[in-house]
Amino acid sequence: MDYSFLAIQALNGLSSASSLFIAACGLTLVFGVTRIVNFAHGSLYMIGAYIAATLVPRLLELQFGPVTFWAGILASALIVGIIGILIEVLLLRRIYGAPELFQLLATFGIVLVVQDLTILIFGPEDILGPRAPGLRAPVEILGRRFPSYELVLIAAGPVVLGLIWLLLRKTRFGVLVRAATQDREMIAALGVNQAMLFTGTLFLGAFLAGLGGALQIPRVSAHAGMDLSIIAEAFVVTVVGGMGSVPGAFLAALIIGQLQAFGILIFPKSTLVVVFLLMAVVLAIRPYGFFGRPEVIGGSHAIGITSSKRSPYAGLLALAIIGAFASLPLFEDAYMLKVATEILIFALFAFSLQLLIGVSGVVSFGHAAFFGLGAYGAALSLKWFSMPMEAALPAGLLLAAIGALIVGAFVVRLSGIYLAMMTLAAAQIIYAVAFQWVDVTGGDNGIVGVWPSAWASGQVSYYLLTLALVVTAVLLLMRIINAPFGYALRAARDSEARAEAIGLPIRLHRWLAFTLSGAAAGLAGGLYAFSRGSVDPTLLGIPTSVDALTMLLIGGIQTVTGPLVGAGVLQVLRDQIMPLTSLWRLLLGLSIIAIVLIFPRGLVGSVRAWMEERA
């Protein structure tokens, strides 16, 4: 490997670091001031790319030249900044005080809405922007050609860093932003106009996201998957650098850029893993990143199930529901059974998450990891060890439990938003492994031919098997929730200090809960794999985690049965609405936002509140 190649590779790394920093620093600024982890930041980045890729060519037709090009880029970023203001005024302003789970979900709702709107407005095809005038020809560096536009990108990162530094140090707005990052309550008490400050910050953050996206158009085409791929990397940058710290983000972006550029040479097939592994390692050693500070306790409050007297009819009702489900095969409708099978599977998946969020107060944003591990565990043991379904399902459960045991060991040391980010990182690592370890997992192809054993392969028998397993698992989990162990978890959720003071080993309890929850999700995943006949990496993706959270949210986080109802409602809606419209994500996103804003108790929670009021 010669010297000039290494130099070019380092330059490649610098240019991606620069791009990454510009995209991510807005996220960290917004978090610093508003304490909201803005999932929609990636969507703003994507909008920036789409606007620039559409706008700049039009401008260049009017007058061709570098000035037009750069003016077009800035104009696109400004438009995105204005969209950021809209988002702040319409949505974020209403949820600053909400629990962080709701904040994350609401901003993810924006992601879903923007995905469909983007396709609606800009069309489904990818748009490759024009090349920058004057920067079309490559430059020769050490005898190799290097695109001159990349050199401009390399310079852009430090320039943006410098400008932000000036803004933060030399202007009143900057002083206020820094003050708010340190102590939000204090500057509110000092009479600073918080609304203006927050709106301004959102404008700045969105502007930077849009700029990041717009700068990419000469090298990548604007496409519909940009949002999630950049947001995952931007999260890594902000978390590694320390949330709220702009220089930290710069340092993290530099490291990640070089890691990617040289990682390709050392581990050519595991580039995705390397990035998230870095995040996990940093969080394990420095739980608050390079320059982050511990979160002020009290800034967020846990929500979860409350203790309530059990209705005397609860047992009867449960029996009636199980009976109704068990008699479904009498209808002899194969498709209805398919839907019911999936409802049951997702009910178990969502219910396992309830043990973490509702009971333990551990807001996991990567629960898909264990669902996917269960599915992959089952599929892999079928494929590689020719195990029958009867052995493959427990194998999947075991793999998920082991995965949860390992991830849990790191997760329980953290809290709040860092915890959510750690679970997300864990899920992304497992996703990356499934995606890139092609020889074992089949990579993007996944594994096909995962069908149940002969006795269970009929629609009816597989449905009954699923029903039996799901009911058993759910009843077991309910028992756990109402056992002293469950009460100990709730105590730790509501007051960590007091729970610790009476001698509860909080971390151990949470670790156990995490493992149990992972195992239950793994069972759901295994059942899912055999129901679909195949597994693929999307099972481990962010949207799968969000699905589980949405079910929780629809049903109601404060109730035990909420997730079960939520799973049923979401699956039935998806099944009925999805074939009718191509705007399913838009509808789902809007519903998530609506629930967070006006209906935060969910279906079961609202019904219960209404009944209690009447009584």
Please report, as residue ranges, which positions from 289 to 328 form the binding site for another protein (by CB under 8 A): 320-321, 324-325, 328
Task: Determine which residue in the list 396, 562, 568, 605 makes contact with another protein, applying CB under 8 A.
Answer: 568
Site for another protein in 378-397 (CB under 8 A): none
Based on the shown chain and the rule CB under 8 A, indicate whether residue 565 belongs to the binding site for another protein.
yes
Task: Determine which residue in the list 220, 491, 504, 609 makes contact with another protein, applying CB under 8 A.
Answer: 220
List, in sequence order, the alpha helices (H) in 533-580: 542-555, 562-577
Based on the shown chain and the rule CB under 8 A, indicate whether residue 436 belongs to the binding site for another protein.
yes
Measure the CA–CA gap between 553 and 306, rounded to whole angstroms: 15
CB of 114 to another protein, least distance (A): 15
Based on the shown chain and the rule CB under 8 A, indicate whether residue 229 belongs to the binding site for another protein.
yes
Cβ distance to another protein smaller for residue 199 or 459: 459
Measure the CA–CA gap between 72 and 59, rounded to whole angstroms: 7
Cβ distance to another protein smaller for residue 168 or 326: 326
Determine the interface stretch with another protein among 60-68, 296-304, 446-454, 462-470 (rule: CB under 8 A).
446-454
Site for another protein in 569-598 (CB under 8 A): 569, 572, 575-576, 579, 582
Cβ distance to another protein smaller for residue 129 or 292: 129
Buried b (16+ CB within 10 A) or exposed e, 245-271: bbbbbbbbbbbbbbbbbbbbeeeeebb
Based on the shown chain and the rule CB under 8 A, indicate whether residue 336 belongs to the binding site for another protein.
yes
Buried b (16+ CB within 10 A) or exposed e, 517-550: bbbbbbbbbbbbbbbbebbbbbbbbbebbbbbbb
Structural Rg of the chain based on CA atoms: 25
Site for another protein in 129-148 (CB under 8 A): 131, 136, 138, 144-147
CB of 172 to another protein, least distance (A): 41
Task: Determine which residue in the list 451, 485, 487, 599 makes contact with another protein, applying CB under 8 A.
Answer: 451
Cβ distance to another protein smaller for residue 28 or 216: 216
Cβ distance to another protein smaller for residue 308 or 582: 582
CB of 260 to another protein, least distance (A): 8
Cβ distance to another protein smaller for residue 136 or 479: 136
SS3 annotation, 375-423: HHHHHHHHHHHCCCHHHHHHHHHHHHHHHHHHHHHHHCCCCHHHHHHHH
Nearest alpha-carbon partner for 423 in 406, 435, 436: 406
Measured in Å, how far apart are the chain's first and last C-alpha atoms?
Answer: 78
CB of 507 to another protein, least distance (A): 36
For the record, the structure tokens of 602 come out as 């969910």
Cβ distance to another protein smaller for residue 53 or 593: 53
The mark string for 248-287 relative to another protein (x by CB under 8 A, - otherwise) is ------------xx--x----x-x----------------
Number of residues binding to another protein, judged by CB under 8 A: 74
Determine the interface stretch with another protein among 66-74, 301-309, 360-368, 442-450 (rule: CB under 8 A).
442-450
The mark string for 95-134 relative to another protein (x by CB under 8 A, - otherwise) is ------------------------x---xxxx-x--x---
Cβ distance to another protein smaller for residue 106 or 347: 347
- Type of residue found at 368: A
- Type of residue found at 309: K
Determine the interface stretch with another protein among 240-248, 403-411, 463-471, 562-570 (rule: CB under 8 A).
562-570
Nearest alpha-carbon partner for 450 in 361, 537, 382, 511: 382
Distances (CA, A) of 230 to 24, 125, 223: 9, 19, 12
C-alpha neighbours within 13 Å on the C-beta side of residue 251: 14
SS3 65: coil
| Secondary structure percentages of the chain, helix, strand, coil, to 5 | 75, 0, 20
For the record, the structure tokens of 422 come out as 């750690």
Cβ distance to another protein smaller for residue 391 or 572: 572
Cβ distance to another protein smaller for residue 99 or 526: 526
Task: Determine which residue in the list 438, 440, 508, 594 makes contact with another protein, applying CB under 8 A.
Answer: 438
Based on the shown chain and the rule CB under 8 A, indicate whether residue 536 belongs to the binding site for another protein.
yes
The mark string for 12-51 relative to another protein (x by CB under 8 A, - otherwise) is x--xx-----------------------------------
Q: What are phi and psi of 302, to 5 degrees?
A: -75, 145
Cβ distance to another protein smaller for residue 19 or 76: 19
Based on the shown chain and the rule CB under 8 A, indicate whether residue 61 belongs to the binding site for another protein.
no
The mark string for 341-370 relative to another protein (x by CB under 8 A, - otherwise) is -xx---------------------------
SS3 311: coil
**Axis-axis angle for helices 41-62, 66-90 (nearest 10):** 150
Measure the CA–CA gap between 139 and 149, rounded to whole angstroms: 9
Task: Determine which residue in the list 93, 538, 597, 606 makes contact with another protein, applying CB under 8 A.
Answer: 538
Determine the interface stretch with another protein among 24-32, 58-66, 164-172, 339-347 (rule: CB under 8 A).
339-347
CB atoms within 10 A of CB 74: 15
Measure the CA–CA gap between 237 and 16, rounded to whole angstroms: 12
Based on the shown chain and the rule CB under 8 A, indicate whether residue 340 belongs to the binding site for another protein.
yes
CB of 449 to another protein, least distance (A): 5
Measure the CA–CA gap between 255 and 538, rounded to whole angstroms: 28
The answer to whether the beta carbons of residues 500 and 506 sit under 8 Å apart is: yes
